[in-house]
């Protein structure tokens, strides 16, 4: 079993989030991680967001892993590995009916996203 390190909790919301946190290619706003002492990310999904319904409706917990491919092996893949920003690869799996996000950083000594990581 691979080692998991807590990274953040993502919670879907209907409240408006800052426009600066909008990601047009996914039609989502993701906000609050940097301000939250517990690394909570609020997510607002716009009409037409291509992400799976499970991600849009159920909170997810995210963990950093050293080897993403090993961590998802044999798991139910919800979102296949992809790189939403330079230096990071992410995937979502389903764990007991809930989404889990797994993150692998290119440089394991420095979390590239976000800049003010709280749990090292």
Q: Give pLDDT tens digits for 67-119.
A: 999 999 999 999 999 998 888 999 999 999 999 999 999 876 656 555 554 44
Q: Residue 112: inside a domain, yes or no? A: no
CATH number of the domain within which 65 lies? 3.10.180.10
- Looking at the structure of the chain, the number of domains it has is 1
Q: Residue 19: inside a domain, yes or no? A: yes
Range of the domain at 13: 5-105
Helices (H), the chain: 53-57, 68-72
Q: Residue 38: inside a domain, yes or no? A: yes
Find the distance separating the first CA and the last CA of the chain, reported in whole Å: 20
- Establish whether the linkage from the previous residue to 101 is cis, with ω within 30° of 0: no
Q: Residue 120: inside a domain, yes or no? A: no
What's the full length of the chain, in residues?
120
pTM value? 0.87
Contacts 24+ apart (CB under 8 A), 81-87: 85/112, 85/113, 86/112, 87/112, 87/113
Q: What pLDDT digit, counting tens, does each position of 36-78 carry?
A: 888 899 999 999 999 999 999 999 999 999 999 999 999 999 9
């Amino acid at each position: 079993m691979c080692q998991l390190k807590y990274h953040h909790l993502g919670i879907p919301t209907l409240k408006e989030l800052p426009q600066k946190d909008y990601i047009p290619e996914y039609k989502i706003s993701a906000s609050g991680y940097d301000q939250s002492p517990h690394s909570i990310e609020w997510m607002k999904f716009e009409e037409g967001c291509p992400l799976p319904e499970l991600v849009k409706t159920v909170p997810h917990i995210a963990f950093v892993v050293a080897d993403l491919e090993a961590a998802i092996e044999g798991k139910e893949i919800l979102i296949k590995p992809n790189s939403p920003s330079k230096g990071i690869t992410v995937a979502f799996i389903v764990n007991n009916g809930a989404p889990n996000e797994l993150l692998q950083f290119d440089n394991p000594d420095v979390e590239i996203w976000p800049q003010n990581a709280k749990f090292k």
